[in-house]
Every structure is written in C-alpha cells, then in structure tokens.
C-alpha cells in the first residue's frame, strides 16, 4: 500500500507543478523571442541592403548606359533546318 500511495503522490505533484513549469518555459521562450526579434529584423535589413547593392553593381556592368541609343527589336530570325528525309520511327 505504501508504494501505491507514493506513486499517487508523485503523479499528483507532477500534475500540480506541470502547468507552473510549462508557464515558466513559455514565458522564457516568449521573452527570448521578443529579445531576439529586433536583431533578426536588423540582420534581414543588412542582408537586403547587401543584396540590393550587389544587384546594382551587376546590372550597372551588364546594362547599357542610360544615354545610349535604344536597341532595336530583332526581326524574325530565320532558323536553317536540314532538308533531308525525316527518319521513320
């Protein structure tokens, strides 16, 4: 009988203190999230600026200057195909 009551008391204590422990862990996780959120936003801004600057430099090299003459549209380019018989499948 003694071991059954010990087991019951142990489970009762676990069930009583589990919500308190879960509440403390949830509070800690929320505090950690709100503490790190500004740093994550700042890191995202830095990455976005770096990507924008890199794209600007790449486009500056690849695109013609702004005062260049406009490129004319290419007219229909003829594709030369061989004039033989098509092999049968």
Beta strand ranges found along the chain (DSSP E): none
How much is the pLDDT for 89?
52
Chain mean position to CA 4: 52
Q: Is 89 helix (H, G, I), strand (E, B) or coil?
A: coil
Is the pLDDT confidence value at 77 over 70? no
Of 15-19, 29-33, 62-66, least confident by mean pLDDT is 62-66
How much is the pLDDT for 23?
95
pTM above 0.85, yes or no: no
**CA–CA distance, 59 with 62 (Å, rounded to integer):** 5
In DSSP notation, 62-79 reads HSPPTTSPPPPPPP-PPP
Average pLDDT over residues 81-89: 68
pLDDT category of residue 20 using cuts at 50, 70 and 90: very high
**CA–CA distance, 15 with 22 (Å, rounded to integer):** 11
């Amino acid at each position: 009988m003694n071991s059954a009551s010990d087991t019951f008391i142990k489970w009762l204590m676990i069930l009583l203190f589990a919500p308190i422990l879960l509440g403390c862990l949830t509070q800690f996780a929320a505090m950690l999230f709100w503490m790190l959120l500004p740093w994550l936003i700042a890191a995202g801004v830095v990455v976005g600026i770096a990507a924008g600057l890199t794209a600007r430099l790449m486009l500056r090299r690849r695109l013609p200057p702004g005062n260049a003459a406009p490129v004319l549209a290419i007219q229909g380019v003829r594709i030369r195909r061989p004039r033989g018989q098509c092999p049968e499948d």
